[in-house]
Structure 1
């Protein structure tokens, strides 16, 4: 298999990448199981930090293969296969991190970052300077290595992940003359830079490959929800009709979440990135950073549904499910109508997300499996509403992408003008006979 689509559709996901993802199926499953084992909000926060660590590890290999990977090169395949070993070790040690013993997990994370550092030092395509990324991963490896032997590891992990987020998917940075003071760019300037193709073509990312890569990862996370629902069937009697109703509801919810992402958000994200010429800053906003919360939300939903199907579900089960669904809806921006959205559209979106969270209060009058049924019905309703909103956005975007982007630019400029307009300008233009103020 080659990783370049001969039909012109862009780069394809390599077979070795799919094999690499098998390790993360187990890893993210361990994170979700950690929440189920101790359903408290402190455990959810710890699971979020653990998931973010695994997430940026996965992002590193996704970006590596997007820019320079090729299944036809033995070295590229070997780097990915080598990364499965420390990642597999880290997956087996996830539960020890929850128990306060993160040493082996941290050492494994250090090892995988050394592999990423070496991979970026390997000769890449001509003109692509990856030395900064290589040094960044080397620093992260040192930080994770030190955290394996000293207490208070979370501070070092946070610093390592933040600096990784700073050097991955770097965009263009304007060059300054020596002694020249750097001016902070305006919001409009930052927005324009995200839509402009990178001045160095070697920095561009392949939109088709990145969209497919993240889409496959979201499928894996949705699979965790399906596995959770299916596994619970092994422990319940066949004549429990309430359970079978909640089982069907869980599968319906998984299907609705799939529909929300792949029939609206995924299509728009890929088109936007492709139109920007593979701008790395936009790729970061849409994928690397933009998918973090909805991806973790799927694990939180899976944990909530799992707990809801227990014989004695905890009170937090409903909250995990509803808050996870609200995070997923917000993170995928499926209720956003685009730049032309009025204030009442934004207010309605906020109210819908708040109502999603408040469905957990039904747990005071309904059993947990019944709450799953209600939340699943709410997810289906949200899918129907979002499908109409995003379909119109896709039509506007597909009919004339340039006009669509121009409307965004106009909306952004008008918002910027309203924020910076002097108070005296709010009175409107002077009349024809109005005199100029005296000096």
Structure 2
């Protein structure tokens, strides 16, 4: 467990650096390009392509987040320069995102290769004593080669998928305990390993910094929804009642999404990671991999609301919004009641199904009115989740294993 010094609150650690906030400005534009790609051609195939593009950008951002979490220091010029250098190829990639949708990913792939060269060099740079990250450096070197090769061959996505999968393995999962061949521990045993703390203390992550880092990124994604709603005001007359309904609904929905994450999921995730002593594998489960679905869900919701504000919104607009909200609720586990009773599980499934099916309302009411209804549904979900998660956080105490068992993340019964 993490040692807490006198006068220090649990989870207290270093803050997000100013250079990291500057780096995130590039991703504001990149995420906007992904959402715009869905709006340009509102089909599920385009949404699937957007997910792949978003995942590529997501793991690029994760690389810098973990780099600065483990070894970054605003007082060291080298650390700041590596992050600033990374903004250049990331900005180039953001400008080329729409070309990826059009089947011309070469420049984007080369930019991603350049980013990984910088990350490889950053992990080779001397850091604090006892922190050896040469394995991560070699991993990013391999990813850089894969992205560079993908710019000149067909089946580009296959190279990207392989590169991202191996990055996920070496970046935060390199602290796994060694097991005998064929040994498959139970789910409960795996969770005990995560909560027990990292086997290599030098690989531990700072829970407070990581929680704040991901929280700020979620704010950026919510900002895309707010910008989408606000920008529409420039294209619609002031007496357009439908627009005002969508404007109010979009802003209320954004507020409800903020409430769902920051008053429940964010606090629980940070508390669990802090109690684990900064276990990197747990950080992967909760943040790097665990945040990908709800993060992309916000992009999908922004695209859906954007389409709903068009003069002739497509049928996909409502489905993108409700599908995004369903994924967001599922990814943040806001309806987890801490009970294994069958009717609680059935109620959760029914709530998620009802969320997705709100899209059918566009057959009887205008799209802006559907956005308003979805916003009201989001507010109701936030109210229910606040009660459930507050109780869950109180029950956690200093025993995260019991919390996991109650939330259904662990196998039923005591390990």
What TM-score range do you get, normalising by the shorter chain? Answer: over 0.9
Taking the TM superposition and a 5 Å limit, the aligned residue runs for 1:254-273 are 254-273=254-273
Secondary structure class of the residue paired with 1:235: coil
Q: Which runs of 5+ in 2 are unaligned?
A: 1-6
Q: CA 1:230–1:414 in 2, change beyond 3 Å: closer, same or farther?
A: closer
C-alpha distance in structure 1 between counterparts of 2:313 and 2:96, whole Å:
26
C-alpha distance in structure 2 between counterparts of 1:414 and 1:153, whole Å:
39
Q: Deviations over 1:90-140 (max 9, x none)?
A: 000000000000000000000000000000011122112211111111110
- Is 1:354 the equivalent of 2:353? yes
TM-score (norm 2): 0.94
Taking the TM superposition and a 5 Å limit, the aligned residue runs for 1:173-192 are 173-175=176-178, 181=181, 183-192=183-192
Aligned CA-pair RMSD:
1.8
TM-score (norm 1): 0.89
Taking the TM superposition and a 5 Å limit, the aligned residue runs for 1:216-365 are 216-338=216-338, 340-365=339-364
- Is 1:401 the equivalent of 2:404? no
Q: Is the 8 A contact 2:33 2:97 kept in 1?
A: yes
Question: Which residue of structure 2 aligns with residue 70 of structure 1?
Answer: 73
Q: Which runs of 5+ in 1 are unaligned?
A: 1-5, 419-439
C-alpha distance in structure 1 between counterparts of 2:195 and 2:125, whole Å:
30
C-alpha distance in structure 1 between counterparts of 2:24 and 2:410, whole Å:
42
C-alpha distance in structure 2 between counterparts of 1:107 and 1:72, whole Å:
31
Indicate the structure (1 or 2) with the bigger Cα radius of gyration. Answer: 1
C-alpha distance in structure 1 between counterparts of 2:61 and 2:410, whole Å:
36
Q: CA 1:352–1:143 in 2, change beyond 3 Å: closer, same or farther?
A: same
In terms of mean alpha carbon deviation, does 404-413 or 156-165 score higher? 404-413
Question: Which residue of structure 1 aligns with residue 4 of structure 2?
Answer: none
1:407: how far off? 5.6
1:183: how far off? 2.0
1:182: how far off? 5.3
1:417: how far off? 7.5
Secondary structure class of the residue paired with 1:22: helix
Question: Which residue of structure 1 aligns with residue 131 of structure 2?
Answer: 128
Taking the TM superposition and a 5 Å limit, the aligned residue runs for 1:94-105 are 94-105=97-108
Secondary structure class of the residue paired with 1:415: coil
1:409: how far off? 5.4
Q: Is the 8 A contact 1:171 1:198 kept in 2?
A: no
Which residue, 87, 91, 94 being the options, matches 1:91?
94
1 or 2 for the larger relative contact order (CA 8 Å, sep ≥6)?
2
C-alpha distance in structure 2 between counterparts of 1:376 and 1:413, whole Å:
33
Taking the TM superposition and a 5 Å limit, the aligned residue runs for 1:21-40 are 21-40=24-43
C-alpha distance in structure 2 between counterparts of 1:355 and 1:183, whole Å:
41
Question: Which residue of structure 2 aligns with residue 436 of structure 1?
Answer: none
C-alpha distance in structure 2 between counterparts of 1:72 and 1:323, whole Å:
44
